[in-house]
Amino acid sequence: MIKTDVIIVGSGLAALQLARQLQEQLNVMIITKNKVRDSNSYLAQGGIAAPVGKEDKVGLHTEDTLTAGCHHQHEHIVKNVIRDGKNIMKSLIGDGAPFDRKSNGDLALGMEGAHSIARILHSGGDQTGRYMVEYLLNTLDEKVWFVEGEMVFELVKDTRGHCCGVKTKLVDGSIKYYSAPHVVLATGGAGAVYSSNSNARTATGDGMALAFRAGAALSDMEFIQFHPTLLYLDGASRGLISEAVRGEGALLIDEKGERIMEGVHPQLELAPRHIVAERINGERLSGKKIYLDISPVKDFEIKFPSITKMCKKHHISLSEGRIPVSPGCHFTMGGIMTDEFGKSTIEGLYAIGEVACTGLHGANRLASNSLLEGLVFGERLAKHLITANINVSAVKTDSKPYGNPPELNIKRNELKERMMKDVGIIRSEQSLTRHLNWLNAQSLSYKTELDPLSQSDIQTYLMWVVSTLITQGALVRTESRGGHIRSDYPGENDEEWFKRSILLIKNNHQLKVVHDEQHQIEIYA
């Protein structure tokens, strides 16, 4: 068993920020199932939202975040994250981080949906994620050890129930053990469990499934954000068209050239994402083709080099000014329930970034708040871990087998297609029950032993777990709020659901609903 001080699972912005802050004090190991740069962070076209402009304020950014999230948050959590984020961004700017600037040297602050003021910092136009990941990677030293190509498939706990390490599966089927008093999940979201999505193919919700199997509480899994504008060709999504394009003036039109957001929302194309996505979805279901009209955007190819490259790859003529679009899964608002430092409900286990449910995003994430969240919680958790008591030698693993290995007959592509159809932009009791019945018919269990399985089969199994959790949460929440839209419950039900979260906790594989005194609903699965 290989020992270190801190294990970080995942290699996105939150993971790298944490490692950067820890490296002077502790030995850090970053484990990723693929390559270090295979993450949603690296693909991020949008920027980082922060109130660094002269006319912007923490309170204004807070209000925009609460409004976008349908007030399914606690104001103090949102305000504190944005306050800390502002300070971090000013520090990064002062350190020379590569943010875009105007010809006069001022920061070029962009506008995106549901923001009331231009506050989005970008790098390389639409390449913010790649630029920031490379920037953080270049700040790391030899005390940060990267392990690539190993898939974490189980969290190891000691006899006290504390998380003390991980088990990984290699491509050749072998298993390795790594030990640390602190294990941090920074594995990203679960967008890739949907057939149409903007995510890296590795974003399959592994960390959520691992934490759930270990007994940690998950929250708000039903809130899934569907990005309104994915490039759509030949019946499939081909990549993300950043909201910043609409922020620069692009319009949503049908094949006749008529705008589809007029009369729908005062902010038109820059309305909250769930509203725009629902509108496009409805128009497409009526038989219309929807396009992003980029003709109002000046210097499109200069401002959006990666989108330009993607369009040219798929033979989209930018001179014609129309990019065919359709919504697709983009962001997971829910995840592993954490406190203000990133601590989960299991001692020794932490979660930061999209895998976590911190209370910032609510029912619908405000554009470009995700990278800010990763930076904030990476720094917060580092401060906590540096002062925490570390005693690696006291760890004793308790490795009890789960039971007999399964025959894994589930088809991964079928699961993704069913998720898009039945647990997608619009849900209902009928569609959710249909999908849950199909999941249950796969004869899998939350206690399934994974040791004998291949990397590929483990991946499929973990996707089954996450799909089940999203579906269970969506079935229980009998209202429409933010990224959770029910055709059979079309409105918000504040009397029953305002600020109520659905917690998912593993307990003897039995399903029951409990109302607790904190106005949360717990599902024990």
Residue 492: how many other CB atoms lie within 10 Å = 17
- What residues are paired with 160 via a beta bridge? none
- Residue-level pLDDT at 373: 98
Of the pLDDT bands very low, low, confident and very high (cuts 50, 70, 90), residue 40 is confident
Q: What is the pLDDT of residue 517?
A: 41
Sign of the torsion angle spanned by Cα atoms 424, 430, 432, 434? negative
Tell me, what's the pLDDT at 403? 55
pLDDT tens sequence across 372-420: 999 999 999 999 999 987 564 444 544 555 556 667 889 999 999 999 9
Specify the higher pLDDT residue, 45 or 225.
225
Predicted local confidence at residue 422, as pLDDT: 97
What is the pLDDT at residue 401? 52
Residue type, 319: S
Residue 446 CA: distances (Å) to CA of 85, 90, 405, 456, 513: 37, 44, 12, 18, 18
Question: Side chain identity at 126, as an amino acid letter?
Answer: D
Reported as a pLDDT band with limits 50, 70 and 90, residue 516 is very low
H helix runs in 335-425, sequence order: 370-387, 412-422
Give residue 485's pLDDT.
95
CB 327 within 8 A of CB 426: no
Q: Which of 273, 279, 380, 486 is catalytic?
A: 273
User: Which of the two residues, 122 and 514, has the higher pLDDT score?
Assistant: 122
* Residues 449/405, Cβ–Cβ less than 8 Å: yes
CB-based contact 208:336 (threshold 8 Å): yes
Extract the runs of DSSP E, i.e. beta strands, from 285-355.
290-293, 322-332, 335-337, 349-351
Would the pLDDT of 85 be above 90? yes
pLDDT mean over 335-358: 97
Rounded Cα distance, 207 and 347, in Å: 16
Per-residue pLDDT of 435-491, as tens digits, reads 999 999 998 988 889 999 999 999 999 999 999 999 999 999 999 999 999 999 999
Q: pLDDT tier at 76 (50, 70, 90 boundaries)?
A: very high
pLDDT in tens, 245-270: 999 999 999 999 999 999 999 999 99
Tell me the pLDDT tens digit for each residue of 101-110: 999 999 999 9
User: 70 burial class (0-12, 13-18, 19+ CB within 10 angstroms)?
Assistant: buried
Mean pLDDT of the chain: 92
Dist. CA 525–CA 511, nearest whole Å: 5
Quick check: 355 pLDDT over 90? yes
The average pLDDT across 3-15 equals 97
Check if the beta carbon of residue 220 is closer than 8 Å to that of residue 502. yes
Active site residue 273: yes
**pLDDT, position 393:** 43
User: Which pLDDT score is estimated for 407?
Assistant: 77
Average pLDDT over residues 510-517: 42
- Other CB atoms closer than 10 Å to residue 77's CB: what's the count? 17
Residue with tokens 């103090």: 76
Whole-number pLDDT of residue 519 = 52
Domains of the chain: residue spans and CATH: 228-328 (3.90.700.10), 402-524 (1.20.58.100)
More confident: 44 or 514? 44
Predicted pLDDT of residue 405: 64
What are the pLDDT digits (tens) for 137-147?
A: 999 999 999 99
Do the beta carbons of residue 204 and residue 463 sit within 8 Å? yes
**Distance between CA atoms of 61 and 78, rounded to whole angstroms?**
9
- Banded pLDDT at 524 (limits 50, 70, 90): low
